Amino acid sequence: MESDKFEEYGGEMLRYVTSYLDNIRSRRAFPDVEPGFMRGLIPDKAPDDPDSWQDLVKDIERVIMPGVTHWQSPKFFAYFPTSSSYASMLGDMLCNAIGCIGFTWASCPSCTELEVLMMDWLGKMLQLPDAFLFSGPGHGGGVIQGTASEATLMCLLSARTLFYKREREKRAELTMGQLVDSLVAYCSDQAHSSVERAGLIGAVNMRKLETDAKGSLRGDTLKKAILEDKAKGLIPFFLCATSGTTTSCAFDNLKELGPVCEEHGVWMHIDAAYAGSAFICPEFRPLLDGVEHAMSFNFNPHKWLKAMFDCSTLWVQNTDHLRYAFDVDPLYLKHENQGVMPDFRHWQIPLGRRFRSLKLWFVLRLMGVKNLQQSIRKDVRLAHEFETMVKSDPRFEISADVIMGLVCFRLKGPNEISERLLRDVNTGGQIHLVPSKMKDNYFLRLAICAPDTNSDDVKYAWDVIKKAADVIMKSPI
């Protein structure tokens, strides 16, 4: 394709994209297709000669859209949001055009340098302690990872290496295999599945600790577990605390957990994948108090801060722990300015990396902090509007405190009726929700997800849910 065609088709694609997003309310939030639906819609092998642009465009509606779950629809309330904004799309477009792989400073200096600066911009927006910033007094800094799962894994593996180096000073003959048998990591019983997986991948015991009635991990629980494990000769080395759990958006008590970790030399990592974005609002920032005790902190601007997937920001107080965790240095990756600026290849699991800071730069400049704060506040306000509706109906109950843009609710009574409610609501396809469970209590989760969700959409969702409940209550199981 030549550049004149790219301009022509690009213009058409932009019009398709804006029309898709402007009219997204008219589509079902959740598709009505069966597994394998696409097989009959496209040929079973690639064309030998090029297809025309026009034929391809026609197939977007015919082949793709019928099976799309419209995450950006104001009627989509499942999981947590995934950010979308034109500013981010434009940044990604430039990233694609530049098409660099920024694994070292030398492989694309702007890619590394903008990332360093954006991590400090964002860190300051969250009022992270200076110790986490490149511009701070110590060895702090941040890096953009693809996902929160990678960030947790990276920190767990870095902590594992740190402990290995320390233990080898005492026992030179120690192998990593012998060490991992003794290591124990912790998370709460509400932590995201990616934390358990990090333990599996790192081959360490990940102990899930019980949370309090609000789903929060408390300092005393951690302390007890650490003392028990030390008494067994094990080595506690890592805690993944969660700020804003996936199940119910509960917050682990960082101010209690932090000092326990410090006392016992445990690396505290904070997973704030969803809720982290809200810390740019001063009224939510106190929920992050205690972060000063953490070795690492991560959240996903790609969830709630208008930067599109993938953009998961990770800060550490001592960047050397990432830098030297898996130090492999082949000649073809070396360069003359090594050590002056970060070579981010050392800070992540893959080698290759996109110019992801561009979309952050576009978002932060084109929207400004104030607009981003307003958008978070709007979502939290809508969640409270929905909470009020639920509370006004005596058949329902709220299952967890509403702190951010997530409402957990259920029909009073056995789990089965709430399970049926979710099934009926989702089968209708007008809105889309997912369930969760805490201490055997099943509930539905309504998360404010799309950028354009408004009060009418929330009322619409409540109407759909109420009508489904009416039917169920007439013939309960």
* Residues near ligand PLP, by CB under 6 A: 80, 147-149, 192, 194, 242, 244-246, 271, 273-274, 300, 312
Q: Which is nearer to ligand PLP, 183 or 311 (CB)?
A: 311
Q: Which is nearer to ligand PLP, 347 or 462 (CB)?
A: 347
Can you read off the two tokens belonging to residue 154?
A: 């990276």
* E strand segments, 388-456: 396-398, 406-411, 434-438, 441-447
Report in angstroms how near the CB of residue 311 gets to ligand PLP at its nearest: 9
Report in angstroms how near the CB of residue 2 gets to ligand PLP at its nearest: 38
Q: Which is nearer to ligand PLP, 192 or 359 (CB)?
A: 192
Report in angstroms how near the CB of residue 212 gets to ligand PLP at its nearest: 18
Q: Which is nearer to ligand PLP, 229 or 271 (CB)?
A: 271
The neighbouring-strand residues paired with 270 are 241, 297
Contact (CB, 8 A) for 299 and 312:
yes
Cβ contacts of 302 within 8 Å, gap of 6 or more: 82, 83, 308, 309, 310, 311, 312
Report in angstroms how near the CB of residue 194 gets to ligand PLP at its nearest: 5
Report in angstroms how near the CB of residue 417 gets to ligand PLP at its nearest: 27
d(CA 87, CA 356) in angstroms, rounded, equals 13
Tell me, what DSSP letter sits at residue 441? Answer: E
Q: How much is the CA Rg of the chain, to the nearest whole Å?
A: 24
Report in angstroms how near the CB of residue 151 gets to ligand PLP at its nearest: 8
Q: Which is nearer to ligand PLP, 85 or 300 (CB)?
A: 300
To which residue do tokens 């199981």 refer?
477
Contact (CB, 8 A) for 372 and 305:
yes
d(CA 369, CA 367) in angstroms, rounded, equals 7
Q: Which is nearer to ligand PLP, 104 or 399 (CB)?
A: 399
d(CA 51, CA 44) in angstroms, rounded, equals 15
Residue 437 has φ and ψ, to the nearest 5°, of: -145, 140
Report in angstroms how near the CB of residue 241 gets to ligand PLP at its nearest: 11
Q: Which is nearer to ligand PLP, 167 or 271 (CB)?
A: 271
Report in angstroms how near the CB of residue 309 gets to ligand PLP at its nearest: 8
Can you read off the two tokens belonging to residue 139?
A: 């060895």
Size of the chain in residues: 477
Q: Is 129 exposed, middle or buried (0-12, 13-18, 19+ CB in 10 A)?
A: middle
Q: Which is nearer to ligand PLP, 78 or 261 (CB)?
A: 78
